[in-house]
Structure 1
Amino acid sequence: MSKNKVLNLKDKIDGNEMDLSLCNLTEVPVKELAAFPKVTVLDLSCNNITSLPMEFCSLSHLVKVDLSKNLMTVLPDDLGRLGNLQHLDLYNNKLTILPVSFSQLKNLKWLDLKDNPLEINLAKAAGDCLDEKQCKQCAARVLQHMRILQDEVDKEREWRLLKDKELEKKKETKQREREAKEKEVRKRDKAEEKERKRKEYKAHMAALAIQEQKNKRKEEKKKRNGQIAADKKAAAESAPKAQRRSLIGLLFKLLLLGLAGVVGVCQLTGLKEEAVCVPINVAVDDCLSWVREQEVDVRVRELVEEVDIRARELLQKLSSLVPQLLGPLGVVPTAMEPVEN
């Protein structure tokens, strides 16, 4: 309210009473009323008030309140906070019920609820309020009725709280069970994943081992094939050489045999005086003389002597074969002469 209206409220005060009746009010000026804590009697009758604001319940200094002949349909839930209230006039309003907190008005001694569309049980408890005695009885009976309702509400609240706790407990239990199941599922999935990875690893290692064995066998086969090819190539390369060596050796042997035969014929037969054998005999004699004259190592000399002995044996054998070879030719060999060392 404005400052002028505050001043007007002061004009409405008479001692500890404030008369705001017939002021055509639709709302209760709670903030302004709170500025006058010494006012304990408040008359708000004969206005157009439809409800009381929650802040009205903070005016705990009020002892007597007259709200008769207004348009109120409900009272604030915290009305029980008016702990000092002793006299309450609610005559001729539109109330059907009272807030449960009404039971907390322990100092209430006087109550008028006439001409309100009260619900049946509350109307029976209220009764008439035609005189002081009936209004006091109305206050006592309504308080008793509201206390019963308060107990029921408290029990209902406790039951609801218990149900809520049980429900919450069930929810927590279900939540723990769900979490346990989820944990078990995660654990199982983790174990299965680990087992799968282990199998994959074993399969991978087995595949690597098989591949390594295959590579090893291929390498060994390749080496064997290479070795076989090399052996074949070496054999192919060495065969002509061996054949050549064998042929050369054979030719050399035949040449030596031929030379020995020629020397034997020229030395041991009557052909040694022939013109063909004279140079051969001279060359043989010069060679033997040269070897005798040389100062060579004992080993070389022994080798030469061994060769000489082998040559004499060969010549002796040839001497026995010469008549057989020359007989068909018509040549008569002469007597063999001893070969000089």
Structure 2
Amino acid sequence: MNKHFLNLKDKISGNEMDLSLCNLTEVPVRELAFFTKATVLDLSCNNITSLPPEFCNLTHLVKVDLSKNQLTCLPDDLGNLTNLQHLDLYNNKLTVLPVSFSQLRGLKWLDLKDNPLEPDLAKAAGDCLDEKQCKQCSSKVRGKIAKQKKELDQRWGKKEVKQREREAREKEARKREKAEEKEKRRKEYNAQMAATAAREQQKKKNEEKKKKNGQTAADKKVVESAPKPRRSLIGLMFKLLLLLLLGLAGVAAACRLTDLQKEAMCVPVNAAVDDGLSWAREQEVVVRQLKCALRTLGPG
């Protein structure tokens, strides 16, 4: 704040605070809040580009002149100035007005000339060349903004309905996905338990089969091992017979080829050998005769 504005008492006259042509770039809101009897505020012909939100707390204001400044926008809560009846915004850089503007039901005079307003808003504002037109500007602009507010509320209402419907669908989809995931986990668990049971059953069967095969093998081993004493006995008898034959052959050879052949014990042995040789010769003659007979009976 400029130093010469620290004492606003010099700028007040009755119920009017005149701060025009002061080269202001901002509004001294904190200082103005102490002068509630100053219901008329003239801030024209300055370089103010915006109004702070706290400006909307100056509810004692009845008439405000902000003409010939550099305002590009107004506070969103401007509608809080419920006692405002006269508002001059001539020659600024406004394009739109806040939605709360429709709440200024006490506003009876409004000037929006020489502002780059949007076409619909400019049409509602009109020319405002005299008192009557400025009064009409106030009512038409408030009506236009009230209509826009209603449409906006309806649009937001529809948007909220759509938002709720979308949220409900998303919630239902999440619920369905959760149920499907739960069912999937349940099936996987059942499959896992079935596989475990199958493995246990197969393991049990294998153990029973192994046990049975072991018992069969043991029985077979018993069966196979049982004849072994018999085979051993036969082998032993065969060996004894072989030894006996070898012994007899040795005795026969000794009685036949050595000087023992004249001994009394060798006489029966030699006789037996001679009988055996004679029998063998007879058998040889029989075999020859049989071969001749077979040749005679053969083909040709």
- When normalised by structure 1's length, the TM-score is 0.62
Distance 1:215 1:141, change over 3 A: same
* Identity percentage of aligned residues: 55
Q: Shift in Å at residue 154 of structure 1?
A: 0.9
- Determine the C-alpha separation between the residues in 2 that align with 1:83 and 1:221: 114
**Residue 229 of structure 2 corresponds to residue 232 of structure 1:** yes
Q: Shift in Å at residue 223 of structure 1?
A: 5.2
2:117 aligned residue: 118
Distance 1:85 1:211, change over 3 A: farther
Q: Shift in Å at residue 203 of structure 1?
A: 1.9
CA contact (8 A) 1:6 1:32 kept: no
Q: Shift in Å at residue 58 of structure 1?
A: 2.6
1:321 aligned residue: none
The secondary structure found in structure 2 opposite 1:68 is coil
2:42 aligned residue: 43
- Determine the C-alpha separation between the residues in 1 that align with 2:211 and 2:20: 110
1:311 aligned residue: none
1:294 aligned residue: none
Alpha-carbon deviations, 1:118-172, whole Å to 9, x = none? 1222112111222222211111111111111111111111111111111111211
Q: Shift in Å at residue 5 of structure 1?
A: 5.7
Q: Shift in Å at residue 10 of structure 1?
A: 3.2
Distance 1:62 1:214, change over 3 A: farther
Distance 1:218 1:43, change over 3 A: farther
Distance 1:98 1:194, change over 3 A: same
Matches within 5 A, 1:78-157: 78-157=77-156
Q: Answer with 208-217 or 107-116: which moved more.
A: 208-217
- Determine the C-alpha separation between the residues in 2 that align with 1:205 and 1:5: 104
- Determine the C-alpha separation between the residues in 2 that align with 1:223 and 1:12: 132
Letter in 1 for 2:136: Q
- Determine the C-alpha separation between the residues in 2 that align with 1:6 and 1:185: 76
1:159 aligned residue: 158
- Determine the C-alpha separation between the residues in 2 that align with 1:202 and 1:115: 95
- Determine the C-alpha separation between the residues in 2 that align with 1:60 and 1:215: 106
Structure 1 residue runs without a partner (length 5+): 241-341
1:52 aligned residue: 51
Q: Answer with 21-30 or 110-119: which moved more.
A: 21-30
Q: Pairwise CA RMSD of aligned residues?
A: 2.8
- Determine the C-alpha separation between the residues in 2 that align with 1:100 and 1:225: 110
Q: Shift in Å at residue 17 of structure 1?
A: 2.6
- When normalised by structure 2's length, the TM-score is 0.70
- Determine the C-alpha separation between the residues in 1 that align with 2:61 and 2:216: 110
- Determine the C-alpha separation between the residues in 2 that align with 1:11 and 1:225: 136
The secondary structure found in structure 1 opposite 2:41 is strand
The secondary structure found in structure 2 opposite 1:39 is coil
Give the paired residue count.
237
